[in-house]
Amino acid sequence: MSLKNAVGGVALIAGTAIGAAVLALPVATAHLGFAQTALSYIVCWFFMTIGALFLLEANLTVGYGSNLITMAEKTLGKPGKMFTWLVYLILLYALTAAYLGGLGVWVQQGLKVLGHVPSSFTAALAGTFLTIIVISLGTAVTDWVNRLLMIGLIGAFFSLLGLTIGHVDPMLLFSQPAKWDLRPIPLMITAFGSAIVIPSLTEYLHGKEKQLYHVVLIGSLIPLLVYLLWEICIIGIIPLSGNPGLLQIQQQGHPVTDVPKALEMLLQSPKITTASSYFSIFALITSLLGVCLSLFDFLADGLHIQKKLKGKLLLSVITFIPPLLFVLYFPRGFTFALSFAGLFVAILLGILPAIMVWRGRYRLALESPIEPWLGKPILILTILFFVSVIGIECFNQWERFF
């Protein structure tokens, strides 16, 4: 594996995790205070990274180039295969629909500046077409496009840090909440959901075991640092209550746009809105590329479609048309599915990888090309953690609907 490919792999892992919603994360965690928020992030990062390493081990054990369907079938049998189909498609189609919808909005705004205002359908279609071109050209092209976008993402993020970090108030930052609250945990684990791209990554990097471990570890560490730095800036500048305040922003329900506006109002710096807009665009597209590449390769594996010209055309249709139709005609449907993202991520990227590794190691005696240094206690602890996340998410949904 060359250094360039390793850097590209790290960028793909990090870019898939860091979505535009990072701007809104401090709003969901504002009432916790920085200490509990930081600890919660670290715990979620730890278990999501362990889940990613289990997924990597299962993938390399079954054979790099395989995807989740083949992995589930060989380790969990047909019931596991069908269950994986269901959970994966619900989560990935919902994410793809959300990102395509967001991309369509940015395309519409960009063309509006040029004096042309397309319909939402035309804008979404244009964004989808551009994404299809990149994804269908393969992981190598997606990698290079993603690297360029990550440069923009990092530049925009450090611009935001430069504009805000000097104004952080330690008194706001370290104000302690009255009690602990686990409800944001399902949202936090979705912010580290880049393991979904691992099967595509192992194929692209030719299954180099040690290097892939380093790529996954470094790539997953970058989002953690980004989230912690952004939490410092937001919790340390915007007060919990008042106008503008984080609780008020939470109630209004538009945190991705309202957080930059609040910063601009408090710091009297219009550059913040510009920098956050660029950050949102780059974060949205890097996440979209990672999710769509994962879905594209998943469908190729599950449906046994070769990624040649005709196969790529068919894969493009079944990858992009369903979420595009949902975005245009059933927006509430995918929004509803997306509200359960924490539950699906806990199952798909936490519980299933741990069970696949357990079955592969201790029931089927499959030979792993890597040293299984994470033993039974960590496997059990990982499963218990993600089961508890599912319980928290079910409680959150109960509160929401009842």
Per residue of the chain (402 residues), give pLDDT as tens: 577 788 889 999 999 999 766 877 888 888 888 888 999 999 999 999 999 999 999 999 998 778 899 999 999 999 999 999 999 999 999 888 888 887 887 787 777 766 676 677 787 788 888 898 999 888 888 989 999 999 999 999 999 899 988 889 888 888 766 567 899 999 999 999 999 999 988 888 876 777 888 999 999 999 999 999 999 988 888 888 888 888 888 887 677 778 888 888 888 888 888 888 888 888 889 999 999 999 999 999 999 998 888 899 999 999 999 998 888 787 666 567 777 889 999 999 999 999 999 999 988 888 777 666 678 899 999 999 999 999 999 998 888 877
- Nearest-10 Cα torsion for 96, 101, 106, 107: 90
Considering its fold, how many domains does the chain have in total? 1
Other C-beta atoms within 10 Å of 301: how many?
A: 19
Query: Residue 181 has what pLDDT?
Result: 85
Distance CA 372, CA 209 (A): 12
Q: What is residue 372's predicted lDDT score, i.e. its pLDDT?
A: 66
Q: Is 302 helix (H, G, I), strand (E, B) or coil?
A: helix
pLDDT value at residue 348: 96
* Predicted structure pTM score: 0.91
Nearest to 46 by CA among 350, 375, 362: 350
Give pLDDT, residue 355. Answer: 96
Residue ranges making up the domain that contains 230: 3-401
Query: Which one, of 236, 235, 194, 238, lies nearest residue 218 by Cα?
Result: 194
Residue 393 and residue 183: Cα distance in Å, rounded?
7
Peptide bond into 353 cis (omega under 30): no
Q: Are 130 and 288 in contact (CB under 8 A)?
A: no
Contacts of 117 (CB under 8 A, 6+ apart): 108, 111
The per-residue pLDDT for 178 is 55
Count CB atoms within 10 A of the CB of residue 148: 12
pLDDT of residue 79: 94
Closest to 34 (Cα-Cα) out of 306, 278, 237, 268: 237
Please give the pLDDT value at position 284. Answer: 87
Distances in Å between the Cα of 398 and the Cα atoms of 31, 83, 334, 392 are: 21, 24, 19, 10
d(CA 335, CA 149): 26
Give me the CATH number covering residue 283: 1.20.1740.10
